[in-house]
Amino acid sequence: MRNFYYIVGIMLALSGCDTPLVGFDYEQSNRLNVGENRFLVYYNDDEAQALRLNNQSMRGLKRAVADGITAIETVTGCSVKALLPKSDTVLTRASLRC
């Protein structure tokens, strides 16, 4: 029975992996591939976030943020004004200029 609780705990912990940050919703989202990366992009009027969904080698991480910016611009139709400070190779956050 203890193994059951471990499995349920792990499933609950992983269920929020592609959940958008506060201020974004599922209605304004889109999945797309850019280069070797697959992204889920959430956006609103002022900001967007691109969540990388695939694994990537260390060599491929150099392109992850640039591909995230491309994904944001493709989905929103806006240009990226600036990267937000908490961006990394998995979650690219940006302010938009439409």
In whole angstroms, give the CA distance from residue 58 to residue 26.
30
pLDDT at 15: 52
Evaluate if residue 2 carries a pLDDT over 70.
yes
| 44-77: pLDDT as tens digits | 888 999 999 988 888 878 888 999 999 999 999 9
Burial of 74 from C-beta contacts in 10 A (0-12 / 13-18 / 19+): middle
Evaluate if residue 18 carries a pLDDT over 60.
no
The model's pTM = 0.74
More confident residue, 98 or 8: 98
Tell the residue number behind the tokens 């499995």, with chain if given: 7
- Which of 46, 44, 86 lies closest to 65, judged by CA? 86
